Structure 1
């Protein structure tokens, strides 16, 4: 498949690396698994350090090390390996962008039910390595829920296969879950097998808006929705600042997505209209796919952040689903203080909030630390997904070490005893 052209306003991977990773390493782009094996094995034997990159959108995500000996780019290791339409599975190489993959599957009325940020540039390898997801995680889950098999190259050059190429293949521990979300610290992914879903026959996107002081109305209605028989794909709440920018609406907006056969969608839409609180304004967004694409691309990534006058950052905050309302209220309070621009959206069903910050470097750092502390007070966490490298050492990008960190250390030591792959890219400096 042809490579998509980057938007002319984006940085190249090399330019992005200078700002977000401070690479000083040679870049090697293998085109086959055999080349990956030879490169990784040779570096491991020599005690060299390798950093991994694919699409380049996550160069600002974690990581406080810059002096790697080699950068292994998987962008050229791309394409569809196998697509079994009847079994609804696809095997793909890691450098394939999400847009390429979805465009290919759409011809067969199928899809990977993932909606990560920046699908035109983000690759399936990066999405899986970071366990990325979007607003539709409520119904479809994250990357971890879609991977059924992988081929992994260990630092010593050994190849292992996790899972298989059919949906029901796992007996005992699902090894895929060990590598999904590990940020490339345990092995190099060279193939990924994913389970697919049919394209929905009908899609509807409903927007419910309330005044800023009436956020509790959405909270009450959210509880009622989840006690009902309707099955929304998303319950994504936008902060007033983001709602204003995207829809010119004053207040919080709830994006409620419905995907099913036409009769079912019509029934659920009617239920929402009949049961919404009196103070909630309801509207239908006709171009649902276009709007989701806008949401996916609203915050900066390592290729799009060309701003040299202000500091931009993105946080991922995980809490219990009802605590999303508190997180969004806090981001709105910070926005009203006027020291920094804060735009946010959070899943009232899955508990993940994405916060985009823009302002003076000191204000951004202080806000990151405050939101991490605020999330921890609710037994949640705050991760920095995007921040210039020069500032990353000033914050704990992964938050505090979890109680099970020793388990992570043991797995890393077992898989990569020489710290060959992506050293200091993951929790606690792993």
Structure 2
């Protein structure tokens, strides 16, 4: 079916829905659509999916577009379902500290709304001014503050999901104490939109911290054993850092002006508690290290900058890649060190950071295509030797044809394949976007 014919057919069936034809089929990152539709209600989302499923059209889902380069073996679908106009607060139970919100609402819009009630969603995604809550949940995204906040699986208590056949289901509930049966939320969190379009997200909230600070602890001598010893002492103490993130020298230079391994230690609490924990860090500070502390506004400004260092999901003049690496907590030290070595070997700019309390690393690479692919292969082999994994979170479409975004199929792949076949037998939704080409 020609694009104009598909557009006309959709307009006849769904005349009230905003839609357009865009020359986006050759987007550098892929995951584009011939016809873009912008539903404003859950009913419209259901109608679009049902039409695509009935006519065996392929459909991609997009929120703010920040994850356009994440996965996907197909360059262009018939329909791109954009949730950019599907946003807003559905229900806010202030006393119960829960919030139900439409999935196309950007993270910053939600946090700004909640700030008036001294509440927040305990998540810290990249590009929060563009990333939508639905996309964050679908990709199971989290940042350095995962140490103190937890992940999306900890925050989400309920979802509404539109299946490819148009049926709407609800998982979980609207209250925190909801323990009956299997937690269906976990089935959709991190599934990359391959099982259904998330239309509503219910999360539990936490109070806004009354005070916060960020400590930068720099290690001029680059002694990884010294960093390890300090991290163990802090993690084994009664202190409660929200983040304990190690920056590679290249990333530290960009963020702090110091080209050396730097620990970013974040505290959030009442002011007296934050200062007490700062003093504890000073007390166990290793010799020949340097401490800088940012309080309140400076701390917020630092994190605002930090969350924009990853690729945004746009095409650029220089090839970029982003990796998510999971290892045993303190093996993060080895991963960040290996990234520093690979930077010189492959003539790349590699900016890496990882959480010494949760074991997740983010690695951003810039440079020539072949150098990036070679570095990813080498880093993947190294991480495998540590018993970890590497997922490619951002890469141009042409390069995704040359490398496995998700690496080898896991031993439980047959379960994922079985669920996909049951829920979406026609492979209508986000086809080949997830593990093993699901």
Normalising TM by the smaller chain, what interval?
over 0.9
Deviations 1:67-118 (A, max 9, x none): 4221111111101111110000111001111110100000110000111000
Instruction: Report the counterpart of residue 276 of structure 1 in structure 2.
Output: 285
1:359 to 351, 367, 373: 367
Instruction: Report the counterpart of residue 355 of structure 2 in structure 1.
Output: 347
**Contact 2:118–2:207 under 8 Å retained in 1:** yes
1:416 to 404, 424, 427: 424
Task: Please tell me whether residue 427 in structure 1 is matched to residue 438 in structure 2.
Answer: no
TM-score calculated relative to the size of structure 2? 0.92
Instruction: Report the counterpart of residue 403 of structure 2 in structure 1.
Output: 395
**Contact 2:191–2:434 under 8 Å retained in 1:** yes
2:301 to 272, 284, 290: 290
Root mean square deviation of aligned Cα = 1.4
Other structure's SS at 1:246 match = helix
Alignment length, in residue pairs? Answer: 415
The runs of 5 or more residues in structure 2 that have no matched partner are 1-21
Distance 1:24-1:198 versus aligned 2 partners, 3 A rule: closer
Superposition deviation, residue 337 in structure 1 = 2.9
Distance 1:14-1:330 versus aligned 2 partners, 3 A rule: farther
Distance 1:17-1:132 versus aligned 2 partners, 3 A rule: farther
Deviations 1:232-258 (A, max 9, x none): 000001000111111111310100001
Distance 1:233-1:25 versus aligned 2 partners, 3 A rule: same
Instruction: Report the counterpart of residue 78 of structure 1 in structure 2.
Output: 87
Aligned-partner Cα distance in 1 for 2:224–2:383:
19
Runs (4 or more) in structure 1 with deviation over 3 Å come to: 13-17
Aligned-partner Cα distance in 2 for 1:142–1:317:
15
**Contact 1:53–1:74 under 8 Å retained in 2:** yes
Superposition deviation, residue 299 in structure 1 = 2.0
The runs of 5 or more residues in structure 1 that have no matched partner are 1-12
Distance 1:285-1:15 versus aligned 2 partners, 3 A rule: farther
1:218 to 222, 227, 241: 227
Aligned-partner Cα distance in 2 for 1:46–1:234:
48
Aligned-partner Cα distance in 1 for 2:24–2:54:
30
Instruction: Report the counterpart of residue 404 of structure 1 in structure 2.
Output: 412
Superposition deviation, residue 338 in structure 1 = 5.7
Aligned-partner Cα distance in 2 for 1:22–1:176:
25
Instruction: Report the counterpart of residue 7 of structure 2 in structure 1.
Output: none
- Map residues 18-417 of structure 1 onto 2, 5 A cutoff: 18-21=27-30, 23-286=32-295, 287-303=298-314, 305-307=315-317, 310-337=318-345, 339-417=347-425
Other structure's SS at 2:69 match = coil
Deviations 1:291-312 (A, max 9, x none): 0111110122213x422xx311
Instruction: Report the counterpart of residue 4 of structure 2 in structure 1.
Output: none
Aligned-partner Cα distance in 2 for 1:212–1:57:
37
